[in-house]
Every structure is written in structure tokens, then in C-alpha cells.
């Protein structure tokens, strides 16, 4: 292992820059040359790489987003596109590549490894949805969850003042981790997540019961699911059952940006070091993660083929505390 590359792919997540910084410093400490591949798989296909040294990563640990930029590239999901990427890796003379991203990133890496005998590939989980199998937490989740909780706190002031029902929509296309943890921390009354079917009649009845026992306001945290903006439909359907004044707040991409929290800076640093050390140890086709406080390596195919379950105890706690 003499020369490695690093890229960020898919949705950006706060803490990615901390991970890049840690990977670069670890590579340099082990006398490796490291280059940054710009714009994810788009840059990999085009061989768009820039040298990374201590100057390039100076004062980036506190920045959100990713200094390497990112993309979602449909061409990479064709065999022709992946062979172009493999040829670029050969031209760049890379012995290993660190890939920071989520399920889509690791799915693409698995297919790349199957199509071509290329450099060693090690993944790092970066996703505010926190839906990647093989790690308790992904880089970016803690920052996004804190953003959602701050929004819930602010909305609660208005909800209480106007005795109103609010639907707050957070990200989470196929997973409810963000909704669940921000709902607990924000003291939400109800939760709508992709993992569970929800009856609008039953949801409405539970909200009605809360107002009946003396509540003056209520907050429902909704994961966006497959259709961002779904909260408007839910609010409309609940309104058909209840004669309550309600409002909808969609947080959207607001949750992606901003300075990473302490937890995301530490996690990004921890996994950036672990990824480079995994390459040095000869590992490939795996993702470094943290499970139960311990560093782990999970096969890349497992990260997107296996479904990461919600924490049943946290779900139980939400139900208990919201009654």
C-alpha cells in the first residue's frame, strides 16, 4: 500500500470533512501518498483527483458538507461506467480507495469489485438517515438529529402559544432512526416512520385523547418516507377526523448542513483513521463501523443487502413516554 484515494459519495453529511482530515493525517503518518477524488463516482470515472496534504485539510474539521464535493452518478450503475472507473484507478496508480457514503455508495463499490480486479476498497458510513447496516451510528446522524430537536423545541413554543397541532417532517426515506431519536429528545406525542404501518383513524384518536386529558398542543414527528412532503397528506387526512387547527413544517435539507457536532467530529475522526489502517492491514471489500463501542469491519455487500433494524428499546421508550 503506497498510494490511496478518498472520495465522498451520495448525500453529504456533517463530519465527512473530519473523516477526510483523519484519513489524510493517518496516511501521511504511514508514509502513504493520498489523493482526493472530487465529486464522488463522477470524479472517479473521470479520474478527477487532487493531491491531499496537511495544507489541504487545514481548518476543515468544523465544516459541514464535504470539501471533495459529492454526487449521485447513474453511469456508475452501468458496467461500462464501472469499467471506466476501474481504468481511472489504474491510471491514478491507486492501491486502495476509502469511500465515504451510504448504502448506494457501498452497493456501487460491491459491483465495481465484481467487475474488475482493482484497488482495495474500504467504506466509511456517512448518512444522516443512519440506515447503514454494520454500524450503530453513521457520520452526520448526530448533527442532523440535533438540528431536528432544535426545530422541535422552537415549534413547541408556537404550538403551545396557539394551542395547535404540528406535523414536523424530518428526513428518512426508508428508515425512521432520525424521526425516532429526535422524537424522543423533543418530547413528541406521535411518530410516523417507514418501518410501521399507520392508521390515520388510530393516529387521530390518540391525538384526540391527548387533548381530552388536558394537552393544549401536540407534535407529530414524521419521517419523509418515499415521498418528501408526505406530512401535508397526513395532516389533511388527520384533519378529516379531528376539528383541530394544524400546521406542517418540512425540515428538508436544512438537516444536512451546518457544523458537525462533537459526536460527529469524533466519529468521523475515528472511522477515518480506521479506514486507512484497514487498507494498510490488507483489508478490502469491507466497511469500518462502530458497534457497541467497538470498531468493526462489515462486508460491503452486507451493508446494503441487510436491513438495519430500529432499536426496539428506543421504540418502546417513545411509546411509554408519549402516553
Average pLDDT over residues 247-253: 94
* Per-residue b or e along 169-190, where b marks 16 or more CB atoms closer than 10 Å to that residue's CB: bbbbeebbbbbbbbbbebebbb
Query: Residue 16: is its pLDDT beyond 90?
Result: yes
pLDDT value of residue 227: 84
pLDDT value of residue 244: 82
Active site residue 129: yes
Could you say which architecture CATH assigns to the domain 142-256? 3-Layer(aba) Sandwich (3.40)
How many other C-beta atoms can be found within 10 angstroms of the C-beta atom of residue 307? 11
Q: Percent of the chain having pLDDT more than 70?
A: 100
pLDDT value of residue 135: 98
Domain boundaries, the chain: 3-140+260-305, 142-256
Interval 35-60: pLDDT, tens: 999 999 999 999 999 999 999 999 99
pLDDT value of residue 79: 94
Of 48, 129, 142, 264, which one is the catalytic site residue? 129
pLDDT value of residue 323: 75
Sheet holding 286-291, edge to edge: 49-51, 33-37, 3-8, 96-101, 120-125, 286-291, 294-299
What CATH number was assigned to the domain covering residues 3-140+260-305? 3.40.50.450
Quote the mean pLDDT of the chain.
95
Interval 282-293: pLDDT, tens: 999 999 999 999
Q: Which residue shows C-alpha cell 428506543? A: 314
What's the whole-model pTM score? 0.94
Interval 292-301: pLDDT, tens: 999 999 999 9
Q: Which residue shows C-alpha cell 466519529? A: 267
pLDDT band for 72, please (50, 70, 90 cuts).
Answer: confident
Amino acid at each position: 500500500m503506497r498510494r490511496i484515494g478518498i472520495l465522498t459519495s451520495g448525500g453529504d453529511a456533517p463530519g465527512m470533512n473530519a473523516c477526510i482530515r483523519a484519513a489524510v493525517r493517518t496516511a501521511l503518518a504511514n508514509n502513504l501518498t493520498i489523493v482526493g477524488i472530487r465529486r464522488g463516482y463522477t470524479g472517479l470515472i473521470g479520474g478527477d483527483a487532487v493531491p491531499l496534504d496537511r495544507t489541504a485539510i487545514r481548518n476543515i474539521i468544523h465544516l459541514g458538507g464535504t470539501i471533495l464535493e459529492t454526487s449521485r452518478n447513474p453511469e456508475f450503475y452501468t458496467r461500462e461506467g464501472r469499467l471506466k472507473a476501474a481504468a481511472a484507478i489504474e491510471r491514478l496508480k491507486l492501491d486502495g480507495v476509502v469511500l465515504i457514503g451510504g448504502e448506494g455508495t457501498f452497493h456501487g463499490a460491491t459491483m465495481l469489485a465484481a467487475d474488475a480486479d482493482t484497488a482495495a476498497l474500504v467504506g466509511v458510513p456517512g448518512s444522516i438517515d443512519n440506515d447503514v447496516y454494520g454500524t450503530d451510528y453513521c457520520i452526520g446522524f448526530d448533527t442532523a438529529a440535533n438540528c431536528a430537536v432544535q426545530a422541535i423545541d422552537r415549534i413547541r413554543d408556537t404550538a403551545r402559544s396557539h394551542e395547535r397541532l404540528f406535523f414536523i417532517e424530518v428526513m428518512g426515506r426508508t428508515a425512521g432512526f432520525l424521526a425516532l431519536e429526535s422524537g424522543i429528545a423533543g418530547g413528541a406525542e406521535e411518530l410516523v416512520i417507514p418501518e410501521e404501518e399507520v392508521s390515520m383513524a388510530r393516529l387521530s384518536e390518540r391525538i384526540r385523547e391527548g387533548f381530552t386529558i388536558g394537552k393544549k398542543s401536540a407534535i407529530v414527528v414524521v419521517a419523509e418516507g418515499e415521498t418528501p412532503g408526505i406530512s401535508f397528506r397526513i395532516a389533511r387526512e388527520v384533519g378529516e377526523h379531528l376539528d383541530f387547527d394544524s400546521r406542517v413544517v418540512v425540515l428538508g435539507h436544512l438537516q444536512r448542513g451546518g457544523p458537525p457536532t462533537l459526536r460527529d467530529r469524533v466519529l468521523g475522526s475515528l472511522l477515518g483513521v480506521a479506514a486507512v489502517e484497514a487498507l494498510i492491514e490488507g483489508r478490502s471489500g469491507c466497511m469500518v463501523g462502530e458497534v457497541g463501542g467497538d470498531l468493526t469491519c462489515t462486508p460491503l455487500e452486507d451493508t446494503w443487502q441487510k436491513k438495519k433494524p430500529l432499536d426496539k428499546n428506543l421504540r418502546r421508550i417513545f411509546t411509554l413516554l408519549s402516553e
